[in-house]
Structure 1
Amino acid sequence: MRTRLAIRAHALLERHFPERRLFLKSDTDTRFIRLKPATQLIAFSGTAAVIAWTIIATAILLMDSIGSGNFREQAKRDQRLYQARLNDLASERDQRAEEALAAQDRFNSALEQISVMQSQLLAAETRLREAETGLGVVQATLRRTMQDRDTAREEAQALSAKLGEADGPLPGTVSAAANQAALDFMSAALEQTAAERDEVTANAQDALTQAEEMSLQIALMHDHNDQIFRQLEQAMNVSIKPLDKMFRAAGMSTDRIIDQVRRGYSGQGGPLTPISLSTMGEEPSLDAGRANQILNQLDRLNLYRVAAEKAPFAIPVKASYKFTSGFGYRRDPKTGGRRMHSGVDFAGPVGTPLYATADGVVKHAGWQSGYGRLVKIQHDFGIETRYAHMSRIGVKVGQRVSRGERIGDMGASGRVTGPHIHYEVRVGGRAVNPMTYIKAAKNVF
C-alpha cells in the first residue's frame, strides 16, 4: 500500500516537476547536476514562502505607516486645537483679571465716598439732636415766660383796680406817684418779655425749618447711600462668585479653606474692622449693617485671594510651549507598554524658565531616578507640586517660594525622549490631574 502511494506521488511530481539536469561546462570538462522532482518541490516551496512572507510583511508595514501617519496628523490637529483653546483661555483670563481690578478700583472709590458721606451723616445727626435740644429749651423758656407775663398782667390789673377805688392815699400803701412808677416799670417789663417771646418764637420757627431741611437732606443721603450699597453688593457678588466657583471646580471645600486661611491671618484692625454709625450707644443702623456685610464679603474676597496664591492654579511655563501628554494611562514612549502618566507634559526649548504655581516651601531639589533633576514644593491644604526633567535647579531645600517665582529651567534629564517639563500635582500623596486646577482658574487668573 505504501509503495503504491509512493509511486503515485512520484508520478504526480514527475508530471509537474519533471527531472531536470543542470550542465556546468568548463574549458576541459563538462558536468551536470541532476534536479529530482522532490528537490524542485522543496526549492519551489521555499521560494514561494519567502515571496509570500515578503508580500505580507510589506503590506503590514505599509498599513502601519498609513495608520501612524493618520494618528500623527490627528494628534497634530488635536494639539493645534488645544493650543488655540489655551490661547483663548489666556485672553479670557487676562480680560477677567482686568475686570476684577476695575471692580476693585470702583469698590475702593465707593468705600471712600461712603466714609465721607457717613461723616456728613454723623455731623447732620449731631446738628439735628442739638437743634431738637435747643428747641425743647426754647419751648420751655417760652412757656415759663408766658406764665410770668400772665401773672404780671393779673397783678397789674389788681393794682389798677385798687388805685381807681382810692380817692386819696391808702393806708399801708405807697403814694400814687410810686404806684405809677411801678406800673410803668411793669409795663416796660411786659413789653420786653413780649419782644423776647416773639424773638424766641421766631428762633424756634427757624429751628423747625432747619430741622425739616436737615430731615430732607438726611432722606436724600439715605437714598444715595442705598444706591451706593446696592452697587457695592453687586460688585462683591461679581468678584466673589468666580473665586468660589474656581475652588469648587477644583474639588476644594471653600468653608474649610476660608477657616484655614483665616487662622493664619487673624490680625484685626484698619479698614476691614466692622463699623458702627451710632453715636449714642444705640444698635447699629440698617446702613451700618449693610456696610458691615460688605466688609465681611470683602474680607472673604481677600481670604479667597490669599488661598488662591497657595493653591496651584497657574501653569509652570509662561513662554511658548507645546502640550505633549495629558494625565492618565498612555502608551509608554520608551517601552511601548501601557503605563500610568501621573502628570502633564509641556514641551519647549532647553533653558525655558519654569515657575512655581503656588506659594510653598521646597522639600526636594535634586536628582531622582526617572524624574531626572526634580523640584518638589509643599503647599498648604496638603498639596504638593513636582517639576521634573529640569536642566537647572534654581532653589534649595527649605526655601520659601511665591507663586510665579522662577525655580529653574526646562531640560531633558532623566527618562525622557526630548526636552520638556513633567508637572505633577499631588493631594495627600495621591496624584491628581493638574489640568483640573488650571481649567478651574481659566475665568479668574
Structure 2
Amino acid sequence: MSSQLRGSVFGNRVKSHTIVIARGEKVRHWTVPSWLLGTGAACALIGVVGGIGAVALSLSGDSVVRMMLDREVRATTVYEQRISGLRQELDKLTTRQHIDRDQISKELQALLSQQAQLVGRFQKLEPLLGQAADAGLIDPAATASTNGGPAKGWDVMGSLGQMLTPFRSAQPDSVEHIRDVVLPSIRESVGLFEGQQAAGVAKLSKEASDKVDRMSGLLQPLGVDGDEGGIFVPAPADASFDLQLQRLENMLSRMDDLRGEAERLPIADPKPAGTVRTSTFGIRSDPFLGREAMHTGVDFAGAAGTPVRATGQGRVISAGDQGGYGLAVEVDHGNGITSRFAHMSRIDVSVGQTVAAGSRLGLIGSTGRSTGPHLHYEVRVNGEPVNPQRYIDAGQMWAKL
C-alpha cells in the first residue's frame, strides 16, 4: 500500500519538531513533540497576556489611590478651614469677653467710687442729723436704729448692702448676666439712693431755713436782731450736695444761735406755782392812793414762802432792799434786757451770780410797798419797763417750735 493510501486511511502522521543548537564544532539537537511545543506556546501567550494585565492593573490602581488621596486632601482642607474659622470665632469671643470684663471692671470701679462718695457724704451728714433732731426737725427716734446703728432712713451702708445683693448672687463667670442684669440694677440702686440722699438734705435744709425764719420773727420784737445781710442770690435748682449740706449746716448753726438768744431772754412763765394773777401791765388805780397810776409789771398773789424762779439765763446785778420794791432781785439778760422780782420775803442769790431759767431766786413775801404776799414781776429794755406779757406769750410760742 502506497504511502498516500495509508495517509488517507489512517490520517496524516504528526511530525516531531527538532531543535538544533550549534556552537563551534559542537552541534546539539532535541526532538520536541508537537503537543509539548503547543503547550509551551500557550504558556508563553498566557504569560504575555498576564504581564500586560498586571501592568494595566498597576496603572489602574495608581489612579484610584490618587483619587482617594485627592479626596482626603480636599476633606482635610475643608476641615482645616472650618477649624480655622472656629478658632477665629473663638478668638473674637475671647477678645470680646476680655473687653466685656475690662468694661465691667471699669464700671464696678466707678460704682465703688460712687459708693465711697455716698459713704463720705453720710459721714458728713450724720452729725447734722443729731443737730436736726435736737432742733425738732426730725423725729429723734428716727436718728438711730434700735441697735445703735445709722439713722433710720439714712442708712447708707445698709442701702448699699442691699443694692449689692444681686451682684453677690450672680455667677462669677457669667459676663453677660453681670453686664446686662447686675450692673444696671446696681447703677439704678446707687442713683436712686444718691437722689434720695440729696433730696433728703435739700428738704431738711429747707425746713431748717423755714424754722429759722419763724424763730427770728418771734424773737425780733423782743429785742433780738435776727436779720441777716447780703444780696439775694437764688440757689440753683441743681445745687450740689455739698452746697445743700453747707446750707443745712448754716441753718442749724443759726438755729443754735437763736436758741442761745432765746435762753437768755426772760420768756419763761414767771407765775409761781399756786398763784393767781391779780394785776396786769398798764394804767390801773393805785391801791394806796386810789387814783390812776402806771403799773410797770404784772402781779401774782400767792402764799408767802412760795419759790420765785428766774425767767431766763442771766447774771444777777441787784439783790437786796430796793425801797418800794422791798426785797428784790434784778437779772441782766443782755442786749439791754433785764427782769425784776420784787416784794420777796427772802433772797437766795447774790450779785454777780449766773442763773438759768428756772433757777430759784427767793420766796414770795410782802416787803416794800405791798398790800399782801405777792410777786411783782417786771421786764425792762434799756431801763424802760415793757409789757412782760409779750415775753410770756413769746415763750409759749417758742415752746411749740
Other-structure match for 1:441: 395
Letter in 1 for 2:289: T
| 8 Å Cα contact 1:362-1:377 kept in structure 2 | yes
The residue aligned with 2:287 is 333
* Cα deviations by residue, 1:287-323 (Å, 9 ceiling, x for unpaired): 2222222222222222221111100111223412211
- Please report the TM-score for the alignment, with normalisation by the length of structure 1: 0.49
Pick which of 102-111 and 286-295 moved more.
Answer: 102-111
Answer yes or no: is the 8 Å Cα contact 1:328–1:341 preserved in 2.
Answer: yes
Match of residue 117 from structure 1: 156
Decide which of 367, 379, 384 is 1:425's aligned counterpart.
379
Partner of 1:212: 184
Does the Cα contact within 8 Å between 1:249 and 1:440 map onto a contact in 2?
no
1:402, CA displacement in angstroms?
Answer: 0.9
DSSP 3-state at the match of 1:358: coil
Mapped pair 1:409 → 2:381: no
Structure 2: distance between partners of 1:361 and 1:373: 17
Aligned residues, how many?
249
Deviations 1:75-96 (A, max 9, x none): xxxxxxxxxxxxxxxxxxxxxx
DSSP-derived class of the 1:439 partner: helix
Q: Hey, what does 2:260 align to over in structure 1?
A: 306
Are residue 399 (structure 1) and residue 353 (structure 2) matched?
A: yes
Indicate if the aligned counterparts of 1:242 and 1:444 stay in contact, CA closer than 8 A.
Answer: no
Q: Which runs of 5+ in 1 are unaligned?
A: 1-97, 125-198, 259-283
Q: Is the CA contact (8 Å cut-off) linking 2:348 and 2:360 kept in structure 1?
A: yes
> Could you tell me which residue of structure 2 aligns to residue 222 of structure 1?
194
> Which residue is equivalent to 1:343?
297
SS at the partner of 1:370?
A: helix
Q: What SS does the corresponding residue of 1:320 show, helix, strand or coil? A: coil
Structure 1 pair 355/119, CA: closer, same or farther in 2 (3 Å)? same
Taking the aligned partners of 2:384 and 2:278, their CA distance within structure 1 comes to 22
Report the equivalent of 2:333.
379
Tell me if the contact between 1:103 and 1:239 (Cα under 8 Å) persists in the aligned partners.
no
Partners of 1:321 and 1:231 lie apart in 2 by 45
Higher Rg of the two aligned structures:
2
CA positional deviation for 1:228: 2.7
Which one-letter code corresponds to 2:224 in the other structure?
M
Alignment of 1:72-83 (within 5 A): none
Is 2:284–2:295's contact at 8 Å kept on the other side of the alignment?
yes
Structure 2 CA distance for partners of 1:332 and 1:99, relative to 1, 3 Å: farther
Alpha-carbon distance in 2 for matches of 1:318, 1:306: 24
Q: Do 2:284 and 2:294's aligned partners in 1 also have CA atoms closer than 8 Å?
A: yes
Note if 1:389 corresponds to 2:343.
yes
Cα distance in 1 for residues equivalent to 2:184 and 2:137: 40
Q: Which residue of 2 aligns with 1:64?
A: none
Whether the 8 Å contact between 1:343 and 1:423 is mirrored in structure 2 is yes
Aligned pairs (5 A) from 1:259-270: none
> What secondary structure, in the 3-state scheme, does the structure 1 residue paired with 2:334 have?
coil
Return the letter of the residue paired with 1:248: Q
Q: Name the SS of the counterpart of 2:151 in structure 1.
A: helix
One-letter amino acid matched to 1:247:
L
What is aligned with 1:359? 313
Alpha-carbon spacing, 1:207–1:380, altered in 2? closer, same or farther (3 Å): farther
Root mean square deviation of aligned Cα: 3.7
Q: Is contact 1:353-1:408 (8 Å) kept?
A: yes
Per-residue CA shift, 1:63-122, capped at 9, x if unaligned? Answer: xxxxxxxxxxxxxxxxxxxxxxxxxxxxxxxxxxx997584526745983576428977x
Query: Which of 200, 209, 212 is the matching residue for 1:240?
Result: 212
1:105 is aligned to 140
AA at the equivalent of 2:140: D
1:189 maps to which residue?
A: none
Aligned to 2:278: 324
Q: Could you tell me how far apart the structure 2 residues matched to 1:419 and 1:211 are?
A: 79
CA–CA separation in structure 1 for the residues paired with 2:205 and 2:339: 37
2: distance between equivalents of 1:329 and 1:245?
29
- Local SS of the residue matching 1:442: helix
Q: Secondary structure at the match of 1:300?
A: helix
1:254 is paired with a residue of what secondary structure? Answer: coil
Higher relative contact order (CA 8 A, sep 6+): 1
